[in-house]
A and B are shown apart, each in its own frame.
Chain A
Amino acid sequence: MPLLRIEAVVKKFGVFRAVDRLSLDIRAGEFFALLGPSGCGKTTLLRMLAGFETPDEGRILLAGSDIAQVLPHQRPVNMMFQNYALFPHLTVRDNIAFGLRRAGMQRPEIDARVAEMVALVKLEGFEMRKPDQLSGGQKQRVALARSLARRPQVLLLDEPLAALDKKLRESTQFELMELQRRLGTTFIIVTHDQEEAMTVADRIGVMDGGRLEQVASPRELYEAPGSRWIAEFVGDVNIFEGQLASQEAGRLLVSTRDAGTISVAEPRQPIGKTILCVAIRPEKVKLSRRGPASDGASAHAINRLEGIVTDVSYLGGVTSYKVKLDSGATIRSAMANTARIDIDAYSASQRVVAWFTPDDCVVLEQ
């Protein structure tokens, strides 16, 4: 039995179905991310879990009991708000103690819990400050401490790091993960930032149009996206449209308009359609001057595409290339800069072979 079970939940705003018959199980102790573009319904779903919205249909079971109609202040669930929603008239201490006082805890207990929370988010010495005397990162910590103080069964985080700058966001992501592991609380985070979701979450649910498109681990989501939309939403990808030409020995041959016939490893699920597309992540596309050295059996299966380098973007850790194929289409390649001095780097207008193995690409239904 999962800790949280969302069953065929529907939420309508007028005729618009913000969440459309969505079902999802979340295990106890899991760090789950709801990822999607703005307007996909992820925040509405989170607000239904918090109790700020009531589902029009379906059930939300928390540890077996339906909480869909339970008022927010009676749920064993807490939320960390996007802009923190700290009480500006209360000190850090009183913000954190707010929920504890409502729960009717005794003074010594409250003091002990507040001290524990302050230590947990490393805010010692700031207890008597008001929110407007804190930096963005400190406010974020207070919000986190306040939402964790009541020891909720599930902590909901609505874009918790969106207001922080990039460097702080990255370090905070790791702190969040560590905190979640230490407390063992189930975390559900809503984010539109796929890197953030991949960094922190055990599993990611990708939402679009009020539905879950795919629920998978970060690796699976990236390496085996369930659809073309997901492949394009999560990370960069080269897509070649084509038709199934033949199927042989664990390989599919897809004949594409722009990249000739591509040899692809057979997917786990059988392919039902013949109009397909092939997706290859840029870092799986290698460039070389003459193509890979042929070594017998596997050599004929390697996909080679010839073209001319049109764009070179040096990004520090990787260099991103755009190669214009002879068909006129473009393929992107990203190669790690493993050596500090690379005399062999490719430059614009150089003729190259872009190659990738059948295992490097996935075939997706359109």
Chain B
Amino acid sequence: MSTRNIFTRPARLAAIAPSLWMLLFFLVPFGFVLKISLSQTAIAQPPYLPVFDLSQGIDAIKAALAALSPDNFKLLISDDLYILSYLRSLVVAAVSTSILLLIGYPIAYGMARLPKRWQAIAMMLVIIPFWTSFLIRIYAWINILQHDGLLNKVLLALHLVSAPVVWLSTDSAMYLGIVYSYLPFMILPLYATLAKMEPALLEAASDLGSSPGSAFWLVTFPLSLPGVAAGVLLCFIPIVGEFVIPDLLAGSNSLMIGQTLWLEFFTNKDWPVASAAAVVLLLLLVGPLILYDRLQRRQLERA
């Protein structure tokens, strides 16, 4: 009896806690954003109309509800600026994620092949950059990439170039920054799946006539696909909404949706359009998010 009482209540609370968290810190704020996205801009405080005022009674709320309209979403669809921003976000995320996979897979593979005690050290090396503020690391890249930065100095000293090269404010700089920042998110899930793979499987493949190369493609790679999927989604989803890196490292001729959203919100003070842009961004990412959640759940069930 007593054990039951001790265990069930906290267990029940623990089961509810994540849902409560999601409700309070995701669903409720999202409700606000959704409401604002259906409102109109106004020169007021807050800068949109209508405003729900519970003190004015039921009729006022009904009137406010009637004033909501999907005009902002129509604007998003009709104006190239937004469509191009979304497209650029998706393209940048896809390209960066591909580069991340190409670089991250060999690193994770190498880590998983290291002797056990070296694996811990390699893991530290991957994680340690995280101990420095993300923003500082991006500013460091600005320093390295700028006109008289470290990179140009080295290239000039080695006589590889005769004049400083423009690195900063290019797409290359942005991709460099994104790949640099997200690499651990690609490496860690890949490493986790590769490290727990039974070495006997590769021996079996070899015993059955596979060369090391074909054993990799027939056994290692297919078995690491859950890790590949986790790494890809873990990078792709946040990169789509990335704002800081493109803002600091890329040029200003084309914007990612995060930057457009920022402009609408802070520069144009157009909260409703910014909110609509955020809602659409979330809708774009619902698919990948659900996919990621499914994968994680399947992994948990296996373990």
Contact = CB atoms under 8 A, between A and B. Distances in A.
Interface stretch (B23-31, B202-210, B288-296): B202-210
B203 A150 contact: no
A99 B208 contact: yes
Given A87-B204, A150-B208, 12 more contacts: A50-B207, A51-B206, A71-B206, A73-B208, A78-B207, A81-B203, A83-B198, A87-B201, A88-B223, A102-B208, A102-B210, A103-B209
Interface string A58-96: 000000000000011110001101110111110000000
B254 interface: no
Interface in A228-247: none
B208 A85 contact: no
Residue of B198, B209, B218 with most partner-chain A CB within 10 A? B209
21 contacts: A51-B207, A52-B203, A71-B206, A72-B207, A73-B207, A73-B209, A78-B208, A79-B203, A83-B200, A85-B200, A85-B201, A85-B204, A86-B204, A87-B204, A87-B219, A89-B222, A98-B208, A99-B207, A102-B209, A102-B210, A103-B209
A103 B207 CA distance: 12
B203 to A, nearest CB: 6
Contacts of B211: 73
B201 A102 contact: no
B219 A72 contact: no
B289 to A, nearest CB: 25
A86 B205 CA distance: 9
B223 A73 contact: no
A301 B21 CA distance: 89
A82 B204 CA distance: 11
Contacts of B205: 87, 98
A81 B222 contact: no
Nearest to B225: A89
A52 B214 CA distance: 17
B216 to A, nearest CB: 13
Interface residues of B, number: 17
A89 B206 CA distance: 17
B200 A72 contact: no
Given A85-B198, A87-B201, A72 B222 contact: no
A146 interface: yes
A317 B90 CA distance: 75
Interface of A: 50-52, 71-74, 78-79, 81-83, 85-89, 98-99, 102-103, 146-147, 150
Interface string B207-235: 11111001000110011000000000000
A150 B209 CA distance: 9
Interface string B115-144: 000000000000000000000000000000
Contacts of A99: 207-209
A81 B204 contact: yes
A102 B200 contact: no
Contacts of B208: 73, 78, 98-99, 102, 146, 150
Nearest to B214: A102
Nearest to A88: B223
B196 to A, nearest CB: 12
Contacts of A103: 209
Contacts of B214: 102
Interface in B159-217: 198, 200-201, 203-211, 214
Residue of B204, B211, B218, B222 with most partner-chain A CB within 10 A? B204
B112 to A, nearest CB: 17
Nearest to B208: A99
Contact of A85 (B203, B218, B223): B203
Interface in B218-267: 218-219, 222-223
Contacts of B209: 73-74, 99, 102-103, 150
B210 A73 contact: yes
A89 B223 contact: yes
B98 to A, nearest CB: 23
A102 B218 CA distance: 11
B298 to A, nearest CB: 12
A72 B206 contact: yes
B210 to A, nearest CB: 6
A150 B206 CA distance: 13
Interface string B6-45: 0000000000000000000000000000000000000000
A145 to B, nearest CB: 12
Contacts of A85: 198, 200-201, 203-204
A83 B204 CA distance: 11
A72 B223 contact: no
A146 B209 CA distance: 12
Nearest to B197: A88
Nearest to A149: B208
A143 B239 CA distance: 44
A98 B203 CA distance: 13
